[in-house]
A and B are shown apart, each in its own frame.
Chain A
Amino acid sequence: MHEVSIMQNALEIALEHMRRQNATRIHRIHMRVGALSSVVPEALEFAFDVVTQGTPAQGATLEIERVPAVCYCPACQIEFEPDGYFYECPQCGSLNVQIRKGRELELAFLEVSQQTADDRRQMTDGE
């Protein structure tokens, strides 16, 4: 599996957006991971701690929103969450369905600030 390289990509995107806001710290990263993304959320969490070491995202919270697969049957015009390997419309049994959700592998949002860890420590020390 390649969760480390996925997480590295995610971190690069996060740092890019952080800099665009002139921020210096990342506190929270919220990702959407679809059931069909071939990515294991637990492995992402482990990779996150590794790749954020020594970066402005060190110590940040990683939130993973799991997105289940959702299909659409054009004949019945209904959406359904498939059950098992075979994506069969529960109403008409058709296999001719479209996958509408579940392939997501996205960085949804970030929480950033302009404080550095050092700033915060100094302020606390000064009190």
Chain B
Amino acid sequence: MKQIAGDSLSAQTIAVNEGILSKNDVFAARNRSLFASRRLLVLNVLSSPGSGKTAFIERTLTDLRSRLRGAVIVGDLATDNDAKRIARSGAQAVQITTGDMCHLEAEMVGKAAGQLNLDNLDVLIIENVGNLVCPSGYDLGENLRVVLLAATEGEDKPLKYPVMFKTADVVIVNKMDIAEAAGFDRATALDNIRRIAPQATVFEVSARTGLGMEQWYAWLEQRCAQKQPSPSPAA
């Protein structure tokens, strides 16, 4: 009997329709319910390298020390310098060594959160890897995405990374103290941000001098307060 060789005998098409990052989404959902059970406000902070992201987080936690109880998860290439810097603010800090990874994943964040004491905490800040492309598709279970750029990076920065800016809840323009000296076209920059990310709340700050930080703090405190149970109506 002659056997017919070929795929037609047994080949079959299977519909899959599954997200490639679905595993990450499962971990992100798990993180989100853990954070929700602790009434934690969780920020995922993203920027390019050198935008002053660590300084921004450090200053936020230091200045807010008496108003909000914060912790940080830092994604860092190898050394734990950023985590050490942030620990100076008195906040709990855990480092995720990312090696050559270009983004944080939800599973890593879940493990790192396990090393933190989540009791009596108001805000958890996740400092993502310095990259405005790769992390965009990875949900970490955060409540808010904060995308930071420095005025020194130029007013066309949002045009170079439109996908990331379109996912931002907050856009921080840092280094505003030296914006003018750097030839930063502020009006064009704000227009670019508004048109690319109309959903985002924008803050112009200097993490170095503190310029504009108070508005950011007030907004952040308000968001944290929304996490707390509203006072129960009088019976």
Contact flag A17-B3 (CB < 8 Å), given A9-B21, A85-B196, A95-B198? no
Contact flag A14-B16 (CB < 8 Å), given A115-B9, A123-B3? yes
Q: Give A88 Cβ to nearest chain B Cβ, in Å.
A: 8
Does B108 count as interface, using CB distance less than 8 angstroms? no
Contact with B along A84-127 (1 / 0, CB 8 A): 01111000000110010001011111111111000010011011
Q: Contact check: which of A13, A85, A99 meets B20 at CB < 8 Å?
A: A13
A:27-78 near B, CB below 8 Å = 27-28, 31, 36-39
Number of interface residues of A (CB under 8 A): 42
Number of interface residues of B (CB under 8 A): 37
Contact flag A110-B16 (CB < 8 Å), given A9-B23, A115-B7, A115-B9? yes
Contact flag A13-B18 (CB < 8 Å), given A27-B7, A113-B11? yes
**B21 adjacent to A105 (CB under 8 Å):** yes
| Residues on the A chain within 8 Å of B103, using CB | 2
Contact flag A37-B17 (CB < 8 Å), given A27-B7, A112-B12, A113-B7? no
Contact flag A1-B133 (CB < 8 Å), given A36-B163, A99-B166, A106-B19? yes
Using CB atoms, name the residue of chain A closest to B159.
Answer: A85
CA A39 – CA B20 in complex, angstroms?
12
B:127-180 near A, CB below 8 Å = 133-134, 136-137, 158-159, 162-164, 166
Contact flag A105-B7 (CB < 8 Å), given A9-B21, A110-B14? no
CA A85 – CA B196 in complex, angstroms?
7
**A107 adjacent to B5 (CB under 8 Å):** no
Contact flag A27-B166 (CB < 8 Å), given A13-B16, A38-B133, A107-B16? no
Does B222 count as interface, using CB distance less than 8 angstroms? no
| Residues on the B chain within 8 Å of A123, using CB | 3, 5
Q: Contact check: which of A1, A124, A126 meets B102 at CB < 8 Å?
A: A1
**B12 adjacent to A38 (CB under 8 Å):** no
CA A31 – CA B134 in complex, angstroms?
19
Contact flag A115-B10 (CB < 8 Å), given A1-B102, A105-B137? yes
Q: Contact check: which of A106, A111, A115 meets B17 at CB < 8 Å?
A: A106
Using CB atoms, name the residue of chain A closest to B156.
Answer: A85
Q: Give B206 Cβ to nearest chain A Cβ, in Å.
A: 27
| Residues on the A chain within 8 Å of B21, using CB | 6, 9, 105
**B5 adjacent to A120 (CB under 8 Å):** yes
CA A121 – CA B194 in complex, angstroms?
61
Q: Contact check: which of B13, B164, B194 meets A110 at CB < 8 Å?
A: B13
CA A49 – CA B221 in complex, angstroms?
50
What 7 A-B pairs have minimum CB-CB distances, sorted nearest first? A123-B5, A95-B198, A113-B11, A86-B195, A113-B10, A107-B16, A114-B10
Q: Which residues of A contact B (CB under 8 A)?
A: 1-2, 6, 9-10, 13-14, 17-18, 21, 23, 27-28, 31, 36-39, 85-88, 95-96, 99, 103, 105-115, 120, 123-124, 126-127
Additional 10 contacts, C-beta under 8 A, given A23-B12, A95-B194: A2-B101, A2-B103, A13-B20, A14-B16, A38-B137, A108-B16, A111-B12, A113-B11, A120-B6, A124-B5
